[in-house]
């Protein structure tokens, strides 16, 4: 029952989309499918007429011209199925594909925009998103037009054919139908079983696909070549694919026996029914025309149509099941609706006993993190790898919520602020893995504050503030130059130049809090020192947070917070912390020795 509900739901959904998008296409598809369905019974009827009347023409009891309408009908019916298939293949299929793709994609993209950020860091959610994006369209295409046209055609054809069979003998309807119903019952269960087994196979495909991307992504290819890792990745990819293929073959062999045996009941019933017709002909209960035309019907189109119906009915739920992923995707939790909470007027930050672990994991990353940053203060956050510095920033930005404790910005709780529609105007953030948009320089910077339209001069000023103005001026199309290598006319930038563009974007507008997560990782020492000076100017009067491993850079900050074990373990100026002889001093001394050994 659940399966039937699911397929009905999938069809209702698809037909609704097509009715809205292209009602004419839907109507014409229904009409041509119906006409095609009428062909087999009409063909049977015309063969019967041609044979019976042909014999009368041969015996001289009927003039030849009386045969002409039946012959014309016969010719027309022979042509219609191939014309209809051409129409479906060359028009209905591609047109439907476009309509479904547009509807599915745009609905899914709108949903993506609202998804809770945590889903993008969860492998389970990412698998649902991947399947919804990659499989729903294919399944929809199978259901319409393939299954939909086949269902109408075979249903009309089967009803017409049963009518003709009943003309010969009423019980023929049942001797043909019952074996097919039994067959259908078994194939329905079998296909559902196959679907469940295929789930494991698809999961393997998903992870192999990710490995395959390592071989085609530009950034990754560079490193692969350098490490000569491509060969290893290719062979690993092949090994995994082979393992998956073996799994697939196992499932296929397991079901082959069932698939082969499941068609036999119907095949035997066909032969028995044709023998029954012969028996009726010998007993003179039907004529030669009926014997030939009904035998052709049972052996040919009727068997095919009934068979098609069992495939549609048993395979339909299998494709409709894909809609389960589509529905699960839409069930993923969303960020709360943006409200009109006003932003705070000062940029002070306070973490009060904040605890946090990533959803689906069992390890606390932040364990009672508490600190205060005054409005306008410049603070450096330092700590060893994996101590939770970036995690802390994600919480501050409202991408995740703490499991315990509270975060305040300007005295306002992040619980209220995180859903403010203006939140993007509070923070200017540059992450380690900032975005490189393959768009114009202007757009690359302007997306930093989409709530305002900035004149070109403001964009240029933003670029100047982060030292990007001079290299942008040299571009062939100036501010309208497309960045990145995705397009022919695109100009690629160095890592440091991209970083400056990202900074111009992040700091566009009047952001109260500036955050830089490893801002200088791609800069040379001169550029790094220049960037700090630029940033100190830019950050004047604003609260700013630096996450950095280069402890020399902390000099521009008023204070340093040292994070370890999910807590702040030290706080003070560079001089105070070096003198305190704690974790900061040992990290700083290690770096000092490293620089010294480089100098010597
Ligand atoms: N989405 C996630 N799911 C589960 N664990 C995560 C996730 N993101 C990060 N972690 C874990 O959280 C811990 C803290 O990571 P985080 O990136 O905050 O550290 P960090 O101090 O910024 O490190 P680094 O200095 O190396 O950038 C790490 O152990 C990391 O593996």
**Could you please report the per-residue DSSP string of 290-301?**
HHHHHHHHIIII
CB of residue 388 inside a 6 A radius of ligand 1: yes
Q: Which domain holds residue 80?
A: 2-191+263-331
pLDDT tens column, 215-252 = 776 667 666 676 677 777 788 888 888 888 887 787 77
Give me the pLDDT at residue 189, please: 66
Which residues, including other chains, have CB under 8 Å from residue 268's CB and lie 6 or more apart?
179
Q: Which residue has the tokens 């006409």?
A: 35
Which region holds residue 390: left if phi is over 0, alpha if psi is between -120 and 50, else beta? alpha
Q: Which strand (E) or helix (H) includes residue 427?
A: strand 427-430
- Ligand 1 centroid to 384 CA: how many Å? 11
Identify whether residues 35 and 58 lie together within a single domain.
yes
Which CATH number goes with the domain that contains 450?
3.40.50.300
Ligand 1 centre distance from Cα of residue 89 (Å)? 51
- Asked whether this complex has an ipTM greater than 0.95, the answer is yes
Three-class SS state of 381? strand
- CB of 387 sitting under 6 A from ligand 1: yes
Q: What is the 426 CA–ligand 1 centroid distance (Å)?
A: 24
Residues 395 and 544 in one domain: yes
- Ligand 1 pocket test: pick from 358, 517, 565 the residue with the most ligand atoms within 8 Å of its Cβ: 358
Decide: 453 in ligand 1 pocket, CB within 6 A. no
Q: Do both 529 and 458 map to the same domain? A: no
Contact in structure between 289 and 52 (CB atoms under 8 Å):
yes
The residues, ordered by sequence, that sit 6+ positions from 37 with a Cβ below 8 Å of its Cβ are 152, 153, 154, 155, 156, 157, 160
Q: Are residues 375 and 325 in the same domain?
A: no
Residue 595 — very low, low, confident or very high, per pLDDT cuts 50/70/90?
Answer: low
What angle is formed at CA 546 by the lines to CA 541 and CA 548, rounded to 5 degrees?
155
Tell which of 331, 361, 386 closes a domain.
331
What spacing in Å lies between the alpha carbon of 371 and ligand 1's midpoint?
20
User: pLDDT for 410-435, tens place per residue?
Assistant: 999 998 898 888 888 899 888 888 88
pLDDT category at 31 given cuts 50, 70, 90 is: very high
pTM: 0.73
| Residue 514 DSSP code | E
Contact between 132 and 14 under an 8 Å Cβ cutoff? The reply is no
**With 0-12 CB in 10 A as exposed, 13-18 as middle and 19+ as buried, what is 340?**
exposed
Using CA atoms, how far apart are residues 73 and 47, in angstroms rounded to an integer?
A: 10
Is the same domain home to 110 and 169?
A: yes
In sequence order, what are the beta bridge partners of 453? none
Do 383 and 463 share a structural domain?
A: no
pLDDT value, residue 279 = 95
Is residue 157 one of the residues assigned to a domain?
A: yes
Return all residues near 219 (Cβ < 8 A) that are at least 6 apart.
none
- pLDDT in the model for residue 165: 92
Q: Is residue 50 part of a domain?
A: yes
Tell me which of 357, 360, 365 to substitute to probe ligand 1's pocket, judged by most ligand atoms within 8 Å of the beta carbon.
365
**Ligand 1 within 6 A of 391 CB?**
yes
Shared domain check, 415 and 362: yes
Pocket test for ligand 1, best of 387, 395, 400 (most atoms within 8 A of CB): 387
CA of 121, closest atom in ligand 1: 1
Beta bridge partners of 570: 562
């Amino acid at each position: 029952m659940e399966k039937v509900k699911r397929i009905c739901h999938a069809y209702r959904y698809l037909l609704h989309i097509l009715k809205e998008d292209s009602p004419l296409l839907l109507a014409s598809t229904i009409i041509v499918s119906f006409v095609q369905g009428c062909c087999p019974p009409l063909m049977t009827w015309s063969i019967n007429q041609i044979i019976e009347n042909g014999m009368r023409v041969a015996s001289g009891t009927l003039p030849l011209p009386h045969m002409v309408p039946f012959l014309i009908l016969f010719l027309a019916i022979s042509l219609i199925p191939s014309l209809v298939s051409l129409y479906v293949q060359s028009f209905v299929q591609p047109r439907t594909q476009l309509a479904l793709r547009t509807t599915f994609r745009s609905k899914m993209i709108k949903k993506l925009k609202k998804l809770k950020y945590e889903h993008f860091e969860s492998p389970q959610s990412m698998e649902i998103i991947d399947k919804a994006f990659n499989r729903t369209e294919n399944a929809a295409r199978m259901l319409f037009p393939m299954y939909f046209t086949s269902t109408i055609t075979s249903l009309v054809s089967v009803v017409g054919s049963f009518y003709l069979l009943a003309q010969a003998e009423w019980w023929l309807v049942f001797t043909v139908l019952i074996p097919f119903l039994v067959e259908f019952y078994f194939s329905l269960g079998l296909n559902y079983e196959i679907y469940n087994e295929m789930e494991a196979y698809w999961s393997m495909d998903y992870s192999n696909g990710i490995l395959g991307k390592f071989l085609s992504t530009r950034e990754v290819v560079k490193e692969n070549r350098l490490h000569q890792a491509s060969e290893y990745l290719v062979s690993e990819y092949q090994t995994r694919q082979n393992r998956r293929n073996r799994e697939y073959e196992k499932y296929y062999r397991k079901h082959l026996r069932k698939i082969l045996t499941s068609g036999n009941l119907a095949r035997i019933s066909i032969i028995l029914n044709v023998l029954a017709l012969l028996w009726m002909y010998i007993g003179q209960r039907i004529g030669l025309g009926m014997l030939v035309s009904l035998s052709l019907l049972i052996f040919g189109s009727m068997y095919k149509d009934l068979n098609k119906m069992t495939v549609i009915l048993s395979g339909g739920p299998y494709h409709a099941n894909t809609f389960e992923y589509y529905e699960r995707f839409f069930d993923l939790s969303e960020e709360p609706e943006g409200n009109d909470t006003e932003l705070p007027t000062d940029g002070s930050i306070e973490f009060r006993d904040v605890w946090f672990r990533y959803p689906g994991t069992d390890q606390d990353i932040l364990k009672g993190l508490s600190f205060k940053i005054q409005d306008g203060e410049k603070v450096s956050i330092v700590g060893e790898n994996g101590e939770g510095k970036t995690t802390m920033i994600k919480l501050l930005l409202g991408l995740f919520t703490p499991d315990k404790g509270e975060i305040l910005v300007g005295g306002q709780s992040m619980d209220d602020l995180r859903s403010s529609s203006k939140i993007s105007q509070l923070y200017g953030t540059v992450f380690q893995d900032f975005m490189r948009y393959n768009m114009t320089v202007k757009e690359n910077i302007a997306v930093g504050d989409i709530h305002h339209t900035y004149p070109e001069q403001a964009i240029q000023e933003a670029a100047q503030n982060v030292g990007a103005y001079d290299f942008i001026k040299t571009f062939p199309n100036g501010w309208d130059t497309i960045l990145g290598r995705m397009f022919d006319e695109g100009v690629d930038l160095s890592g440091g130049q991209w970083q400056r563009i990202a900074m111009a974007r992040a700091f566009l507008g009047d952001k109260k809090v500036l955050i830089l997560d490893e801002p200088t990782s791609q800069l040379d020492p001169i550029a790094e020192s220049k960037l700090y000076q630029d940033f100190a100017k830019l950050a004047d009067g604003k609260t700013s947070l630096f996450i950095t491993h280069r402890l020399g850079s902390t000099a521009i900050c008023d204070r340093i917070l040292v994070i370890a074990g999910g807590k702040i373990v030290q706080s003070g100026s560079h001089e105070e912390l070096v003198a305190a002889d704690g974790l900061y001093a040992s990290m700083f001394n290690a770096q000092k020795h490293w620089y010294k050994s480089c100098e010597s």
